[in-house]
């Protein structure tokens, strides 16, 4: 069974770090029922980086993967690697440096541009590890055209005896410029309360308020993974009329009597295909590990001589009042 290690500094704030470790020799997004490793596989570098246009900081998370035997692997997190990011059309380059605060490599000099292709390469002084590299082309942003709250939030009884608010939205997307196009959709909100002096204050904000996502209206399987780290992975080609119906609930920590939400924000990430495939395979691995009968699932990678992913997304945000 493959082991999935999650590294999530401030869950889904600007970047995700999901290291897929203990991988079989073949890499794809299909099911692999046989572990073919013999313990003699070459040590390799694992990188994960998501480039975003006009973001102030570009970052990459790097580790090493050293096979001990067929069921054990060691991981280190080198701070002396050389990571180069190059814009291929202009030849402009920048070197990422290690940031102890971010626990990753970062650069704030290069401005990432929509439509451009970038190559990231990484190496470490240890000659046992090959230089790794991968390319990504920044996708053009697709926006949410309309966002409709279909009815007032409904109080529902949960199986555990608690109550939650259910929200139902009809989302209409702009027509993508290219095909295929993939999305990662994140709803978030600022949860508020009113104190004894009638002052409003924030309880918490971000992705935490919502759980139990569901969808309908469009193709039957437009969303392959309904709850991937608080968001929804969407294959646009499966939608009908560029629309989908999304519903979700406030989580168990939401105090219906004392908390309220005024606005819900939807971040729509137009993602490169490698982003979509990597997170989709991650989801399948997580599901397989949670299931007693789940088959091992091989991982997707677009990194030459290594593992992981170098990809990109282009975000847009739409807000709607719900109170």
Average pLDDT over residues 288-292: 70
Domain parsing of the chain, residue ranges: 3-139+272-316, 144-270
pLDDT tens figures, 132-187: 999 999 999 999 999 999 999 999 988 878 889 999 999 999 999 888 999 999 89
Three-state DSSP class for residue 255:
coil
pLDDT tens figures, 83-134: 999 999 999 999 999 999 888 999 999 999 999 999 999 999 998 899 999 9
- Confidence at residue 111, expressed as pLDDT on a 0 to 100 scale: 95
CB atoms within 10 A of CB 80: 8
- Confidence at residue 10, expressed as pLDDT on a 0 to 100 scale: 36
- Confidence at residue 225, expressed as pLDDT on a 0 to 100 scale: 60
> Do residues 231 and 186 lie in contact, with contact meaning Cβ atoms separated by under 8 Å?
yes
């Amino acid at each position: 069974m493959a082991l999935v290690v999650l590294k999530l500094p401030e869950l889904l704030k600007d970047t995700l770090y999901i290291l897929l470790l203990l991988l079989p020799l073949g890499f794809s997004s299909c099911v692999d029922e046989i572990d073919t490793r013999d313990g003699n596989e070459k040590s390799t570098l694992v990188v994960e980086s998501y480039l975003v246009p006009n973001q102030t900081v570009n970052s990459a998370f790097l580790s090493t993967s050293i096979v001990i035997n067929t069921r054990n692997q060691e991981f280190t997190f080198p701070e002396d690697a050389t990571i180069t990011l190059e814009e291929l059309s202009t030849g402009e380059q920048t070197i990422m440096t290690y940031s102890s605060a971010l626990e990753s490599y970062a650069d704030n000099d290069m401005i990432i541009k929509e439509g451009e292709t970038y190559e990231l390469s990484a190496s470490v002084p240890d000659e046992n590890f090959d230089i790794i590299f991968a390319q990504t082309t920044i996708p053009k942003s697709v926006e949410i055209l309309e966002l409709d709250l279909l009815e007032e939030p409904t109080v529902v009884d949960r199986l555990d005896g608690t109550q939650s608010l259910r929200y139902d939205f009809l989302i209409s997307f702009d027509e993508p410029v290219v095909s295929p196009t993939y999305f990662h959709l994140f709803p978030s909100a600022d949860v508020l309360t009113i104190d004894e002096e009638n002052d409003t204050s924030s309880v918490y904000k971000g992705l935490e308020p919502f759980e139990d996502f569901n969808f309908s209206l469009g193709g039957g399987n437009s969303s392959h993974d309904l709850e991937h780290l608080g968001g929804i992975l969407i294959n646009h080609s499966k939608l009908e009329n560029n629309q989908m119906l999304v519903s979700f609930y406030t989580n168990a920590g939401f105090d219906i009597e004392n908390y309220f939400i005024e606005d819900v924000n939807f971040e729509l990430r137009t993602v490169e295909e490698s982003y979509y495939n990597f997170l989709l395979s991650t989801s399948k691995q997580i599901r397989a590990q949670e299931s007693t009968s789940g088959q091992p699932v091989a991982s997707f990678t677009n990194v030459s001589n290594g593992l992981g992913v170098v990809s990109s997304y282009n975000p847009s945000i739409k807000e709607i009042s719900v109170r």
